Amino acid sequence: MIWSFLMKIFGWRIDKDFPKDLKRCVLIAVPHTSNWDFLFTMATFKMMKILIRFTIKKDWVKFPFSLITKPLGAIAINRTPRKEGEQRQSMVEYMTSLYKENKDLVLVVTAEGTRAKVEEWKSGFYHIAQNAGVPIALGYLDYENKIAGIRKELFHPTNNIVEDMKSIMKYYADAKPKINSNFSLDKRYS
């Protein structure tokens, strides 16, 4: 398989201690500091045999890009109002609605929202999980030790975003990103 070959030539290994029956959750991928993160994240989840999905602008799911993006799990984002004059859905509303439409859905979200350094993460992943009634899986890439995985215990939002985000920040406190200067925990909660 191409994914295991890729991980092997780059010297990466998969943490085998992960949730085995992952079918319905928001899966955050942290850290997100380099374009390499996408490659290693995709390879990791494919090797774990987790059917992941991610959202992307609708233009990237059109031919010829669709030949690559769709098999990787891309879902086109089209938040255009259905009728003129209707208000456009927020990203959280749109992504939450995907859980209503799909019995099984592991939706990958980058919590930081960008590869550049940010001191406040996007909280959409939390609100999506809370609104959809699904847990959050904590995915990680450890560039120092070249280990990729998902924390075995799923995180269930408690409706207390401050305490929940503090717990998530504790988990990622020792993150080993590719580009250290591009990574920060959310300063509001760490």
150 to each of 16, 27, 37, how far by Cα in Å? Answer: 9, 9, 14
What pLDDT is stored for residue 45 in this prediction? 93
What pLDDT is stored for residue 79 in this prediction? 61
The whole-angstrom separation of Cα 137 and Cα 118 is 21
Quickly count: other Cβ atoms within 10 Å of residue 174's Cβ. 9
Burial of residue 116 (CB within 10 Å: 0-12, 13-18, 19+) is exposed
The whole-angstrom separation of Cα 106 and Cα 162 is 24
Rounded mean pLDDT for each run of 10 residues along the chain, 190 residues in total: 92 94 95 94 94 88 90 80 75 92 94 87 96 98 97 96 97 95 94
What pLDDT is stored for residue 86 in this prediction? 76
Contact 173, 190 (CB under 8 A): yes
Domain boundaries, the chain: 2-12+21-178
